[in-house]
A and B are shown apart, each in its own frame.
Chain A
Amino acid sequence: MIDWGAIFSNAAVEVLSPTTAAYALAALGLAVHFGYTGLLNFGQAGFMALGAYGYAISVLTFGFPVWAAVLVAVGASVVFALILGIPTLRLRADYLAIVTIAAAEILRLLFTTNTFRDVTGSANGLSEYKAGFRALNPFSFSGKAGFGPWMFSANDWWNIVVAWTIVALACVLVWVLMRSPWGRVLKGIREDEDAVRSLGKNVYSYKMQSLILGGVFGTFAGMIFILPRAVVPSNYATSLTFFTWAILLLGGAATVLGPVLGSIVFWVALSFFSGFVARAVEAGWLPISEVQSGQLRFILVGVAIMLMVVFRPQGMLGNKKEMSFVK
């Protein structure tokens, strides 16, 4: 018989998980890029990798404290954004898409190659960088605490609190910015950059600022992403970028809370489907192997997202009115 209680409680855990927060923040970065500025960044995984590796390498190789490691990671992604943006932001939007997807792959391969094994750990990646962060943990209870399905250790709670605090601050920042004249210029660029240029705005500079801001969000997402796990290069493949895009479109591209809601729904649904499929295979309901069942959940989520995009193209929180004017 299927244990529905376990399926639901595993799914509920995803609501608070730092991984959900990381994807939400990465998708919020894409919202700044695409939803508000119209930039096509298909290399968000690269920004996340820079966050993960920038932090871990700073701690492990250089012995930096937490704050300095964070600064290194952010600095690296600003440089990355400049390298991507300087040659492409004067060109049509598609060029940025091509360059970002390639650059993110180059980064991943650089982190995987054996040449830098001592620093990057090559394919095995990095671990043992968490002591400094855990030393800051104000929670000191032993065992697990919490309520309902949300029973976590002190370290897990610390991860959750930091992760969601950063997401909340980022949401407030985007909310304030998109109501400011600065945000108005970005939205104007999304609609027609020549018109904005004709009104005396330095479009190139605004696009660069947007690329950097959304990229830095991706970098923080990368740092949050490695709180509950190790740094492994294969995590930063293009599929990571496409999941964040899926989350963005699910939640609503030009919204502040859409990425957050999108990420929660995405991870809860994924956990629910995988729990259900795994147990259904066990119970002999589905004529497939366990390995196949691991893939089936992505197929189910994919179908769900396709249905979403067809029947609610503006996303869960998007404005229906906007869609009626999209060409």
Chain B
Amino acid sequence: MSSDAIPTKKPVKSVGLHVGDAVPGCKKTDPILIADGVKRTFGGLTAVDVAHVEVPRGAITALIGPNGAGKTTFFNLLTGFDKPDHGTWSFDGKSLAHVPAFKVARLGLIRTFQLTKALGLLTVMDNMKLGATGQRGENLFRAMLPFLWRKQDDEIEAKALELLGRFKLDAKKDDYAASLSGGQRKLLEMARALMSDPTLVMLDEPMAGVNPALTQSLLDHILDLKTQGMSVLFVEHDMHMVRHIADWVIVMAEGKVVAEGDPYTVMQDQAVIDAYLGQHHDQDLGATDTGHVEALKELIDDEQ
């Protein structure tokens, strides 16, 4: 059903996610991820300085903002791939400060990377199988005795095959991941992340470089995650997509959360328009800015 290229119905948006006014850092009725005072500087540059933000559970949240806003750095901090100057954050009620990246993943918070990390000289199938957690054969001593893990490995393979089918990669399963195209690698990385049945999936620009036909099915996959009870936090520059699937939008600019809200209202927010155009106020909105102007046009289009 989800792999149909044409969406059969409009996505069902989750509502009532927040408490009080939709201001930056507003409370959520059921947050899955809460960050407090998370700051990361690189030399003199403050890449991330988030006072307070909550990510709602069971919903699709978009993290948007202009290039260099600190979205990827924030992802790295939340998932243990980078260490903040200070700050606390918790996932599902458990504090994640000083928790190494692999343990964060085992808790059920899986992320993908903006610059895709397909494991080139592993087959597509091996990439997928690596995503499964709790494998008996990953222990050195049990690995020597295949009868201890063979059955589990077969189950993992069946699950991987099913996921690869959904992502239209099943024909490629025996090829090296290095032979995939850029868009296919994005798909593989997302499929691989799902092998561990995460509770929160954090996707850093999952659609970048994916062709429009696949984009549609990728959107359906993301909507599907929600149906299956997962929460999603994703970074995306394409406003059409954000509007189409996001239940909630968090806007970052220069390291701070500058706006929050549902996709329709947040995009009319003056702070958001400033975030996208502000850094170029004294410039001509010429050729260099087409991306951002485009983004704004999309926002305005949508109101009609």
Contact = CB atoms under 8 A, between A and B. Distances in A.
Contacts, number: 109
A240 to B, nearest CB: 27
Contacts of B137: 180-182
Interface in B79-133: 79, 81, 100-103, 105-106, 110-113, 117-122, 126-127, 129-131, 133
Across the A-B interface, give the 9 residue pairs with the lowest CB-CB distance, nearest first. Answer: A181-B137, A182-B143, A200-B105, A195-B117, A180-B143, A325-B178, A191-B119, A200-B106, A181-B138
A198 B126 contact: no
Given A180-B137, A181-B129, A181-B135, A194 B105 contact: no
B119 A183 contact: no
A192 to B, nearest CB: 5
Main secondary structure of the interface of A (DSSP, over half): helix
A202 interface: yes
A18 to B, nearest CB: 26
B22 to A, nearest CB: 31
B117 A325 contact: no
Nearest to A185: B138
Nearest to B192: A199
Contacts of B131: 199
A191 B101 contact: no
Nearest to A189: B119
Contacts of B103: 200
A173 B143 CA distance: 10
Instruction: Give the one of B106, B110, B140, B195 with max A CB within 10 A.
Output: B140
B146 interface: yes
Contacts of B121: 187, 190-191, 322, 325
A170 to B, nearest CB: 12
Contacts of B192: 199
A92 to B, nearest CB: 15
A320 interface: no
B265 interface: no
A203 B138 CA distance: 12
Given A181-B138, A187-B126, A325-B176, A197 B143 contact: no
A198 B140 CA distance: 20
Nearest to B136: A181
Interface of A: 173, 176-177, 179-185, 187-188, 190-192, 194-203, 209, 213, 321-322, 325
Nearest to B126: A184
Nearest to A209: B140
Interface string B144-177: 1010010001000000000000000000000010
B81 A194 contact: yes
Contact of A201 (B138, B143, B195): B138
Contact of B149 (A181, A191, A198): A181
A179 B126 CA distance: 11
A173 B144 contact: yes
A177 B145 CA distance: 9
A324 to B, nearest CB: 8
A182 B138 CA distance: 4
A197 B101 contact: yes
Contacts of B149: 180-181
B146 A176 contact: yes
A1 B263 CA distance: 91
A185 B149 CA distance: 15
